[in-house]
Structure 1
Amino acid sequence: MLRVTADDHLPGPVAVLTNPTAGRGRHRGLLPRLLDGLAAAGRPIRLLSASSPVEAETACRAAVAEGAGALVAVGGDGTVHRAVQAVAGTDVPFGPVPAGTGNDFALDTGFPADPLAAVAVIADALRAGRSRPVDLARMTDTDGVHRWYGAVLAAGFDAIVNERANRMRWPRGPRRYDLAIVVELARLRPRRYTLRLDGVPHEVDAVLVAVGNCPTYGGGMRICPDADPTDGLLDVVVAGRVDRLTLVRVKPRIYQGTHVDHPLVSSYRARTVELAAEGIVTYADGERSLGLPVTITAVPGALRLLL
């Protein structure tokens, strides 16, 4: 259960990162109303400018360094992921406004699905000086590079599909991802993973490994159905030597979280997860992230939510 803290939020302006292309632009026309809703909290609003994910992250870091009193991200999980890099482990409270195709972190941590309703919740928290701490996952590669994520790290078939889709120039839109699934299903094979869960080693042959701070990814798929972003732990779900037909049959069950009952699916829970395999680039919150091997650690209370 989330713990509520009442405090004097930092006095600077509320920095707002927006992604007008999130959710294929369907909420773009709402932006003036969303900004008005935030301004109703009686705090100055600073709209951040960015034309790429890298620029978005840089703008958020700069705003925090310059004394922002809070950070709000209007978009999907990708926009939230970029913003979280700037506020993780700081005293700057954060509010995600779900306006993307996938809004898993915002919904899993208790924000309304409607963007205007989410802004009303954030504005109320700003007025009251209220925030609630939640955990984040911090991953580090062998070069010491680290990234934070809030929802789920994908390190198997799902990550491989994303990697292929991102390399494709045709077709555009969702069909590119569908084609990438078809191509990678034809190439499906288990890979050898080395897992160390709180220091205990496991060698597994698997087609999918997910490490969740929250239950869902990919727009509502409950890949780690029992994950709780307030328990100080990470949930690890491993699909073992699954063939193509079984994977296609089991995939619909991920939306209900019942895939974990399949005999070839194993679940674990740990504070620290060391994960290694050849040729895998991970995807965290749906964003391309670090290549394996990585060490992932649950960091309790690393983020303060305006909730």
Structure 2
Amino acid sequence: MNTIPQNDEQLRQEVSAKYARAALQVLGTPAEHAPSCCGPDCCEPSEKIAIQPVQTSSSCCVSTCCSSITDQGDPITTDLYTQMELGGIPIAAALASLGCGNPTALAELKPGETILDLGSGGGIDVLLSARRVGPTGFAYGLDMTDPMLELAKHNQKDAGIENVQFLKGIIEAIPLPDNSVNVIISNCVINLSADKRQVLREAHRVLTPGGRFAVSDIVVQGDLPPAIRRDMESWAGCMAGALEEDTYRSLLQAAGFIDIEVEVTRRYSLADIASNGINATIASLSPEERTSVDGRFISAFIRARKPEEQEV
């Protein structure tokens, strides 16, 4: 079991390294000294793309190829996008999808709006958003991992979508001015931050008055056993970093948001959690701890709004 670094910057580097390996695998570039998620018989990228192209969501920071080949998708990341959505974007964007929801389908994006995706990865949600807001709108993607940015820009070029810009940076310090975007989306990324309070403050800062916060994220209902909180694999797998639901609401409110809603979109069993790369951690729990975890992890769509100036 790998324990979570105590230093925030070290934690950020560990998470970035895991996402970089996922991007490099999709790009077909081996990560130096990084073990592959698949065995020695794993197919080449060109072969991966040809197999079941509408079922290519991958494990959250665990595998980007095995689930699409075996058709035994990760319970968190599979079946998030419709065939119509996947048919309109490069297949590599789907192969690098590491999310836990489909915020573009739930955010009610409107033509002409400016969208920001926090932790945009291979760009799937940015590209879908850009299509939804149309040529009069614009979509930004923010990511800290160079290989993911490279993959996203490659996917943008392949898709021929121009109203998109991918930015390098961290979600705790968004490189955009105040009041500059209408909608913030994110797909299973905020839970990875060591300073979620700052992420939500930054989200509030860059939103226009009346702007909408509409993210998919992993949330826990109740306390987590300490062993899961300490496990680096479960953190990068969207588990250990999950906020408790009431804490998420409180942090949004403290950041200045109103109209806060948490909608459960999926609920995960103990077997689902174990299959997400933390089987050894689950095995180490006591029977009472296992019972406490079963069904407590959820994927949720989290909505909130920045008040209009007259509402402040």
Q: Which has the higher contact order (CA 8 A, sep 6+)?
A: 1
> Would the TM-score normalized by the shorter structure come out above 0.5?
no
Structure (1/2) with the larger helix percentage: 2
Structure (1/2) with the larger strand percentage: 1
TM-score (norm 1): 0.30
TM-score (norm 2): 0.29
